[in-house]
Structure 1
């Protein structure tokens, strides 16, 4: 496991944190309002609902949280301030020794982001990729493992078997009673018979089945991130919608009016009795 460390005093971190909140909801909101967040990222809160989503997944300022494939760090800008003083945040990014130019470029950009502000100094950088044997966090250490809009990418690299193995990695990192939080572009049930694997959408029932095969129990689902305007039937799949808008100016107003994708929000629990 690899960690990112910086020489910085705890007092410097605390100075960059919001005023102490009276409740978890307040703490989540203050983290979402933190100065480190870009205005562009904040503008997407209307679709991603980070405060409600993290609360649904039982994330608190004292949690040990693992975020899988954090990408450019959209949720990092919230989780790092939230967990800086009393929690632990593992960002399981692409492997450093990968031969993929895409992986290397994105990991380098993420490291640059972490180096840009003291609030990121306690972020623990670990590794994740389908089939990678490195631990995303010490076994049995995490209160919450989170994945946002990643399942469709992983499924294309090995199907059901690979996905169950990935979920087992998450299971291993969690404490008994820990939560796996999944947010993913939702494929309507009536579209599962078609060639959906290249659309960016993923079947909700398949998600539940694969997680259960890995040992998880579905505790709850939520429509926090639902979007009834999204039919999930677009020429370029989910990437037709914002923020990608892959069709360019073609029907741009139409897709902007729809907004970001309809998403499942699923809360799984690792059973306490092992």
Structure 2
């Protein structure tokens, strides 16, 4: 990644708007941005989620991702639902969010299913399965989000009986996306030349490793963003190390079908 660190500022947000604006009219940009801004500022969002916004920059990320009202969005390995909630408020009653938790994530999440999924967010459909491959109707999803979760395909855990069949996982994502749909991957950057092993040891993954796998599945790279880049991160420590936790160098890549 380039050694450029963007702060939460008008400058970084305008850069994302300019990129998206090449494909959208001024009115569409205003509506799109307004829906995202309102969702991030929604009164129902828990304080714990809000406290993470400064480092996760959801407004910039979701503007880059192109999420809009009425869409169907798949939130892969959604965990506790930080992004699922924001997405729910963006897509609204005419849209739907599929909050997926696969093999390993569901092992943890089934013990304490977030109340937001059962009590508040009526347009969120939990999808808890014992497989990382998603079984959704073909061409049914507008945007797939994988946020800080791609590396976990390579995380060793007793619930995972064998290494993930990544071609099958990515093929299922590709199949679910509508033509022109987006697959957005955000994760902790690892050193160049590393592979799946750091997914387990450091909870990171190298962006070029991800690109090679996703491109081999038939996707194309639409664009990349440095809104979550941090040149002060060596990319060699665990993502949970106190020195970097919450402020790792993260890549943001948008692939398209």
Which residues of structure 2 form unaligned runs of 5+?
Answer: 1-28, 157-161
C-alpha displacement at 1:193, in angstroms? 7.9
CA offsets 1:159-215 (integer angstroms, 9 cap, x no match): 6x72222111110110111100000111132x6289634111101111001001111
The equivalent of 1:171 in structure 2 is 174
CA offsets 1:138-171 (integer angstroms, 9 cap, x no match): 2211110111111111024666x72222111110
C-alpha displacement at 1:111, in angstroms? 5.0
The equivalent of 2:159 in structure 1 is none
C-alpha displacement at 1:110, in angstroms? 3.0
Larger radius of gyration between Structure 1 and Structure 2: 1
- Shift of the 104–154 alpha-carbon distance from structure 1 to 2, 3 Å rule, reads closer
Instruction: Pick one of 33, 37, 43 that aligns with 1:35.
Output: 43
Residues 222-237 of structure 1 mapped to structure 2, 5 A cutoff: 222-234=225-237, 237=238
The equivalent of 1:25 in structure 2 is 33
After superposition, the CA RMSD in angstroms is 2.5
Secondary structure at 2:44 match in 1: coil
Instruction: Tell me how far apart the structure 1 counterparts of residues 64 and 73 of structure 2 sit (CA, whole Å).
Output: 14
The equivalent of 2:239 in structure 1 is 238
In the alignment, is residue 203 of structure 1 matched against residue 211 of structure 2? no
The equivalent of 1:268 in structure 2 is 255
Contact kept, 8 Å, 1:155 with 1:162, in 2: the verdict is no
C-alpha displacement at 1:54, in angstroms? 1.1
Contact kept, 8 Å, 1:183 with 1:263, in 2: the verdict is yes
The equivalent of 2:142 in structure 1 is 143
Instruction: Pick one of 109, 113, 116 that aligns with 2:119.
Output: 116
Contact kept, 8 Å, 1:225 with 1:262, in 2: the verdict is yes
Which residues of structure 1 form unaligned runs of 5+?
Answer: 1-20, 242-254
C-alpha displacement at 1:259, in angstroms? 4.6
- Report how many aligned residue pairs link the two structures: 223
Instruction: Tell me how far apart the structure 2 counterparts of residues 194 and 268 of structure 1 sit (CA, whole Å).
Output: 20
- Shift of the 195–81 alpha-carbon distance from structure 1 to 2, 3 Å rule, reads closer
